[in-house]
């Protein structure tokens, strides 16, 4: 067998090192390199990347130095302090609690939930969509009926009911409850692309090369729909910050003693706060807008990097 190949070519084991080196020199740049070039070519996205990474690192680290129970204590003397007075940079709310500190701890909670929710629900949704789309037939039929059933449940109401039933819930259980409902959109989107992708010849070629179905799904098809996955994941991350925030705003999110972006925006429920005490809700609102915008900028860059024909950065 090997002799058969040796007989018909001049390439032998002695050339291996030299030829691999030649190939190395001509190699296409790695994907990390391509993404980085793409960021360098797009200044707003670079700024967005710095903002998002810097901000997430800042709130994660800074919140370690804040004693949350102490911070959440009512301090009547600081009632609606204006920003800058009593050493409070962003003022205080109706209970005299520092808005700046609440913002840091609240951001950590909200972003943590959003990251957890995105990771769990996207992973599950992507797997569900890929498997359903690839196998087709009865498997697809069964999985899509489960999807339809989940889709039919009124999501917000179910979450509110679950949150009310469960006696002691915290950020982790809340994330899990959200995850039950947020994989559906992703799964349908991924399924539709997988259906188209699994008809292509390279999948047939992999089958005739003896590759197993699961390897074809996750090593062949998934990389080819990665641009869709990235766009969907970044968009759903931006959206998931809103999910927790929205529910906390309604009063069904995190417990009241746990600050979050949602509970801070809920300050805007009071007309007095909107007109006179703007510092209680405006910083949190601005933060969400800036974060979500930045994330979608970053998502666009990664999508461009994943699609050779859209690249703007240097490279091949």
Partner 1 sequence: MSLVEIKNLKVHYPIRSGFWNRITDEVPAVDGISFNIEAGETYGLVGESGSGKSTTGKSVVGLEKVTSGQILYNGHDITRRNNRRKLDYNHDVQMIFQDSLSSLNPRKRIEDIIAEPLRNFEHLSKQDEKLRVLQLLDIVGLDADALYKYPHQFSGGQRQRIGVARAVATNPKLIIADEPVSALDLSVQAQVLNFMKKIQRDFGISYLFISHDLGVVRHMCTNLAIMNRGRLVEIGTCDDIYNHPLHIYTKRLLAAIPRTDVSQRAAHRASRLAVEEIYREQQDKYYDDNGRAYPLVAVSPTHQVALPPDIAQQLAHQESEADV
Here's the x/- map for partner 1, 20-39, by CB under 8 A: it reads as x-xxxxxxx-----------
Count, residues near partner 1 per rule CB under 8 A: 40
Burial class (CB in 10 A: 0-12, 13-18, 19+), 227: middle
Residue 13 within binding range of partner 1, rule CB under 8 A: yes
Tokens 């999948």 label which residue? 203
**Residue 315 zone, left/alpha/beta (φ > 0; ψ -120 to 50; rest):** left
- Closest distance to partner 1 from the beta carbon of 304 (Å): 16
Any residues with CB less than 8 A from the CB of 62 and at least 6 apart, and which? 104
Q: How far is the CB of 89 from partner 1 (least distance, A)?
A: 48
Q: What SS3 state is found at 275?
A: helix
Min dist CB 218 to partner 1, Å, is: 12
Tell which residue, 217, 221, 231, has the closest CA to residue 186.
231
Q: How far is the CB of 199 from partner 1 (least distance, A)?
A: 10
Q: Is 1 in the site for partner 1 (CB under 8 A)?
A: yes
**Contacting residues for 250 by C-beta, under 8 A, at least 6 apart:** 160
Distance CA 93, CA 215 (A): 55
Nearer to partner 1, 7 or 43 (CB): 7
Q: How far apart are CA 59 and CA 264, in angstroms?
A: 16
Residue 245: strand, helix, or coil: helix
Nearest distance, CB of residue 291 and partner 1, angstroms: 31
Residue 16 or 166 having the CB closest to partner 1: 16
Residues with Cβ within 8 Å of 201's Cβ and at least 6 positions away in sequence, in order, are none
Note whether 67 binds partner 1 by CB under 8 A. no
- Mark the segment that binds partner 1 (CB under 8 A) among 5-13, 90-98, 104-112, 273-281: 5-13
Q: Which is nearer to partner 1, 50 or 314 (CB)?
A: 314
Q: Of the listed pieces 4-12, 33-41, 62-70, 175-183, which binds partner 1 according to CB under 8 A?
A: 4-12
CB of 25 to partner 1, least distance (A): 7
* Shortest distance in whole angstroms from residue 221 CB to partner 1: 9
**Residue pair 115/237 in contact by the 8 Å Cβ criterion:** yes
CA distances from 68 to 36, 63, 77, 105, 257 (A): 38, 8, 19, 8, 9
**Least distance in Å: CB of 208 to partner 1?**
5
**Of 308, 310, 312, 314, the one binding partner 1 by CB under 8 A:** 308
The interface mask with partner 1, positions 194-233, x = CB under 8 A, is ------xxx-xxxxxxxx--------x--xx-x-------
Contact residues: partner 1, CB under 8 A = 1-2, 4-13, 15-16, 19-20, 22-28, 200-202, 204-211, 220, 223-224, 226, 308, 316
């Amino acid at each position: 067998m090997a002799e058969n190949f040796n007989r018909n070519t001049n390439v032998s084991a002695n050339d291996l090192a030299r030829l691999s080196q030649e190939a190395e020199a001509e190699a296409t740049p790695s994907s990390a390199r391509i993404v980085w070039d793409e960021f360098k070519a797009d200044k707003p996205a670079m700024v967005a990347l710095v903002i998002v990474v810097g901000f997430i690192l800042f709130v994660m680290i800074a919140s370690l130095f804040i004693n949350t129970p102490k911070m959440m204590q009512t301090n009547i003397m600081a009632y609606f302090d204006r920003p800058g007075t009593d050493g409070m940079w962003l003022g205080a709310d109706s209970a005299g609690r520092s808005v700046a500190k609440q913002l840091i701890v609240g951001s950590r909670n909200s972003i943590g939930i959003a990251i957890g929710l995105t990771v769990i629900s996207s992973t599950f949704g992507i797997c569900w969509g890929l498997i359903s789309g690839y196998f087709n037939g009865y498997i697809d039929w069964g999985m899509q009926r489960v999807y339809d059933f989940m889709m039919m449940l009124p999501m917000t109401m179910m979450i509110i009911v679950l949150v009310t039933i469960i006696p002691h819930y915290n950020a982790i259980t809340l994330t899990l409850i959200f995850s039950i409902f947020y994989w559906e959109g992703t799964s349908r989107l991924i399924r539709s692309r997988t259906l188209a992708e699994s008809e292509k010849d390279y999948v047939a070629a992999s089958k005739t090369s003896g590759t197993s179905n699961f390897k074809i799904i996750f090593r062949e098809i998934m990389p080819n729909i990665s641009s869709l996955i990235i766009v969907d994941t970044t968009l759903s991350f931006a959206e998931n910050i809103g999910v927790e925030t929205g529910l906390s705003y309604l009063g069904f999110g995190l417990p009241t003693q746990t600050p979050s972006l949602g509970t801070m925006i809920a300050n805007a429920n009071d007309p007095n706060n909107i007109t006179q005490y703007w510092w209680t809700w405006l910083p949190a609102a601005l933060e969400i807008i800036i974060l979500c915008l930045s994330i979608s900028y970053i998502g666009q860059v990664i999508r461009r990097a994943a699609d050779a024909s859209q690249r703007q950065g240097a490279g091949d």
